[in-house]
Structure 1
Amino acid sequence: MLSSILSASIFLAGAVRAVEYSTTRHISQYSPLETPLLPPASFSSPMVSRTSRRASKAHALHYLRASGISAHTVPLTGAQFDYEYLTDISVGGQNLSVIVDTGSSDTWFPEMGFACFNLSGHPEPVSTCAFGSEGFDSRISNSYQAYPNTTFSISYGDGEYLSGSAAFETVSVGGLTVKHQEIGVVSSAAWVGDGINSGLLGLAYPELTSVTNDIDHQDMKYNPFFFNAVKQKLVPYPYFSIALNRGTAAGTHSPAADPHLGYLAFGGIAPVPVTSTCTTVPIQGYSLTTRAPTADRHSTYMYYTVDIHKYTFPNSSTVVTASNSTIIDSGTTLNLLPSEVAQAYNKGFGTWHDGLYYVDCAAQAPPFSVTLGGKTFSTDPQDQVVWVGTDKNGNDLCVSGTQDGGPQMMGSVFILGDVFMHNVVVTFDIQKNQMTFTQRKSCFHSIYVYHIRDNHPNSDNNPTYQTHRAYIPCASEHTSHPAE
């Protein structure tokens, strides 16, 4: 348990520090767009698990900028203390559980027989890397095709790395099957796993893919999974949509799987109840030379980055809360916002210690809303209290859902993570390069408190009761509700 607590704290601290390395900031030139009528998704994949948030993921943003390296619905679930969302995926007919990530682009898996290393580069047993399976076995796949003279490689700022080669394979998610999909096949890994996930499904733009040519060492950008699905005309609309549920109390405190945590949907909006509050905004491009967001029409798309008009909360009038260039990232647990915004929000709520705002786990979080595209989206106070483990005495430790993402400077990039995404359905249009945000109905995963009378011989004279809490989803949660 101690190692899990430590890794939870490390991921949070690492995530907060990473954004400080951003370089330039631009003036917003974006306006709201006409919001389309979003159809129900053709394919849906439920989120089947959440797993611990990795420090390496946050470091990757800095690494990419600093080094210049260049419908169907599935359910999502959670594990390892409900920090990241997983879904089931089929690759070459083999089923694996993978992280769903809008902040990266590669789909990768460890291959069976991969070499495991610790962060110092020393060989370790495969179990040390703690993937959720023995890995992908290309030998038993009829659709596997190796891609000669290629290298798939990702290095992270905390010492983790994945390397191997590229290949082509049939990949299925939520009934959506893409043939001849390029994937990363990991043969060497320095990885601190959780024993549940066995790879990653990247949903961001091709520019963030990580394959190079062994002959001239040039980047070989390729179409990620959903981009190929659109190219192959497998979906009626070029949308994918994500609805993330808040984890249950049991899942938050357990490394085991936590089911029913939302949906990843392809071809339309995810099937959860929504309100009529919605807006559509353009996605920002990036400069290939500076790796910073830009409004230039010749820019390249990388992350799902949007402009934020303002954040509203008690004390928000004391700071300029607008921040451009904010990534919508399902692979980041917290909101990582400008230093002055995080400081103002956590005044009287969070206590700064070792680079994080800690809060009382029983605290009532201040109201918090986000305005973009001319519409304001509220967040549930429950999402602003994030459990991260226990102290040496067994007491729960919680942090604020809104943390310091570094100072506002020219080109600074911030993140709205799961804390915000629990409250909206985000629909990504990869052809028009725009995103639609739709407010979710607030009843999902509401808390129901009930009391059970103790059954003791003397209970009639002096009855006592035990208090229990259950998390109850909306009755209509599994019904499609396109934006009005």
Structure 2
Amino acid sequence: MKWLVLLGLVAFSECIVKIPLTKVNIMQETLGEKGLLNNFLKEHAYRLSKISTRNSDITSVPLRNFLDLMYIGNITIGSPPQQFSVIIDTSSSDLWVSFIYCQAPSCSKYLRYNPKTSSSFQSDEGKHIKLTYGSGSITGVLATDTVRIGGLIAKSQTFVLSMNKLSGALEQAPYDGIMGLAYPSLAILGTPPIFDNLNKNGIISEPVFAFFISSWPHKSSLLMLGGVDHAYHKGALKWVPVTEAGLWQITVDRISMNRKVIACSGGCQAILDIGSSYLLGPTDIVRSILRSINPSPLQNEQRLISCHRTITLPPVIFTINGMDYPLTRKYYIQKVSEDICFITFNGGTENLSPPETWVLGDIFLRAYFTVFDRGNNRIGLARAV
């Protein structure tokens, strides 16, 4: 049986490697199988829109959920605007889109930026750069132009024009680039990320962005810029200090299940990352967790479990800054077929420093509305509606 490839999107510069993080592929399957990719493209035509909120200072940008693998939003670049769909990523800081001169077969399927049609385009002297992600790397040149997202305008925004696209599942996915929302220390050659451009020039009222992401068709996923719409969470936000001002990294007290600590017994670090599909941790620890959850795996694959056996599984509880954040089986178990389910833990973070570092990806972020507060270097968490 073939499986979908689920990816994380941590980036670093070719010149200065800022983070030694390579995220792992969990499943392997071509996205086009069973018509999933074609159906998605037909149902989600390109469009740029802004959702009104109760607070006029907040810009809410709709995000498309692509098969629970990635969340994609629309931007425009240039004058007149050229429209692109970009993967939103909180563990990288650069913005890149495909270049009109990209010769990769995957580039021809989607939109590419043409500098000749933009009156606001500025060349950056053809500086060649390379960005490396967990799923591959892209090479390209730096450029500057006007970028718009949800009605917000970032003038003189430096970005990368890519000559190729990432390999694996991302090569087949319906996107034209990636927009990073991590700290500026991770940006290539010291270029300002788009969020910092918007904040520095007073385009947003607060240096804050937030996510409401969902797997459910009746609930639209959103990126909020410049503020928080509190209608999307229950109870008060609980604030957690950022420990690493590069990635959105925090301290976790422990991870437990059935009143037993199963990981992070002496405290550990965790990265909040919308660019990662699942829950990632050190391989040996994840293996132990999988064995305790699933002592009788299917097809010799520890993450595959009979769906009827998941009904009694208890929540996995992440204790953060003294507060418990339970993930019920509704979130950490996904259905593959009528009878087969998938446990959404995977290893691969043991090369990070400190060695026990976790990546809390979309599985966690769907359960908890998340606010990224750059002004106070903190993350706010509350149960999503």
* TM-score bracket relative to the smaller structure: 0.7 to 0.9
The 5 A counterparts of 1:157-306 are 160-189=136-165, 191-192=167-168, 193-210=171-188, 220-248=189-217, 260-270=219-229, 272-285=231-244, 301-306=245-250
Alignment match, 1:369: 317
Deviation of residue 65 (structure 1)?
3.3
- Distance (whole Å) between structure 2 residues aligned to residue 396 and residue 149 of structure 1: 54
Deviation of residue 426 (structure 1)?
1.1
- Distance (whole Å) between structure 2 residues aligned to residue 110 and residue 409 of structure 1: 30
Alignment match, 1:54: 7
Q: Does 1:154 align with 2:131?
A: yes
**1:132 and 1:199, CA in 2 relative to 1: closer, same or farther beyond 3 A?**
farther
**1:131 and 1:224, CA in 2 relative to 1: closer, same or farther beyond 3 A?**
farther
- Secondary structure of 2:190's aligned partner: coil
Q: Which runs of 5+ in 1 are unaligned?
A: 12-52, 117-125, 211-219, 249-258, 286-300, 442-484
Q: Deviations over 1:204-259 (max 9, x none)?
A: 0112123xxxxxxxxx21211111111011111110111111245xxxxxxxxxx8
Deviation of residue 268 (structure 1)?
1.1
**1:187 and 1:327, CA in 2 relative to 1: closer, same or farther beyond 3 A?**
same
- Distance (whole Å) between structure 2 residues aligned to residue 154 and residue 380 of structure 1: 36
Q: Tell me if the contact between 2:20 and 2:352 (Cα under 8 Å) persists in the aligned partners.
A: no
- Distance (whole Å) between structure 2 residues aligned to residue 341 and residue 335 of structure 1: 9
State the number of aligned residues: 337
- Distance (whole Å) between structure 2 residues aligned to residue 201 and residue 194 of structure 1: 18
Alignment match, 1:72: 59
- Distance (whole Å) between structure 2 residues aligned to residue 183 and residue 329 of structure 1: 21
Alignment match, 1:431: 375
Q: Deviations over 1:99-123 (max 9, x none)?
A: 010011111000123121xxxxxxx
**1:310 and 1:154, CA in 2 relative to 1: closer, same or farther beyond 3 A?**
same
Q: Tell me if the contact between 1:75 and 1:264 (Cα under 8 Å) persists in the aligned partners.
A: yes
Letter aligned with residue 349 of structure 1: N
Q: Deviations over 1:140-181 (max 9, x none)?
A: 1222111114123123566x3311111111111112211111
- Distance (whole Å) between structure 2 residues aligned to residue 315 and residue 337 of structure 1: 20
Deviation of residue 314 (structure 1)?
1.9
Counting aligned pairs with the same residue, the percent is 21
Alignment match, 2:288: 343
Partner of residue 399 from structure 1, selected from 330, 338, 342: 342
**1:409 and 1:417, CA in 2 relative to 1: closer, same or farther beyond 3 A?**
closer
Q: Tell me if the contact between 1:333 and 1:419 (Cα under 8 Å) persists in the aligned partners.
A: yes
Q: Which runs of 5+ in 2 are unaligned?
A: 22-57
Q: Deviations over 1:336-373 (max 9, x none)?
A: 13443662365143739788522234533431222212
Q: Deviations over 1:293-347 (max 9, x none)?
A: xxxxxxxx21000000122322634655454221000010111134436623651
Deviation of residue 202 (structure 1)?
0.5
**1:378 and 1:153, CA in 2 relative to 1: closer, same or farther beyond 3 A?**
same
**1:346 and 1:177, CA in 2 relative to 1: closer, same or farther beyond 3 A?**
farther
Q: Tell me if the contact between 1:356 and 1:403 (Cα under 8 Å) persists in the aligned partners.
A: no
Letter aligned with residue 226 of structure 2: G
**1:267 and 1:189, CA in 2 relative to 1: closer, same or farther beyond 3 A?**
closer
**1:355 and 1:434, CA in 2 relative to 1: closer, same or farther beyond 3 A?**
farther
Of the structure 1 ranges 351-360 and 303-312, higher mean CA displacement relative to structure 2 is found in: 351-360
Q: Tell me if the contact between 1:151 and 1:166 (Cα under 8 Å) persists in the aligned partners.
A: yes
**1:356 and 1:206, CA in 2 relative to 1: closer, same or farther beyond 3 A?**
farther
- Distance (whole Å) between structure 2 residues aligned to residue 104 and residue 410 of structure 1: 18
Deviation of residue 432 (structure 1)?
2.0
Alignment match, 1:251: none
**1:333 and 1:179, CA in 2 relative to 1: closer, same or farther beyond 3 A?**
same
Letter aligned with residue 360 of structure 1: S
Q: Tell me if the contact between 1:238 and 1:431 (Cα under 8 Å) persists in the aligned partners.
A: yes
- Distance (whole Å) between structure 1 residues aligned to residue 290 and residue 163 of structure 2: 44
**After the TM superposition, which segments of 4 or more aligned residues of structure 1 sit over 4 Å from their partners?**
58-61, 352-356, 405-410
Q: Does 1:82 align with 2:64?
A: no
Q: Tell me if the contact between 2:94 and 2:193 (Cα under 8 Å) persists in the aligned partners.
A: yes
Partner of residue 310 from structure 1, selected from 251, 254, 274: 254
Alignment match, 2:49: none
Letter aligned with residue 176 of structure 1: L
Q: Does 1:139 align with 2:84?
A: no
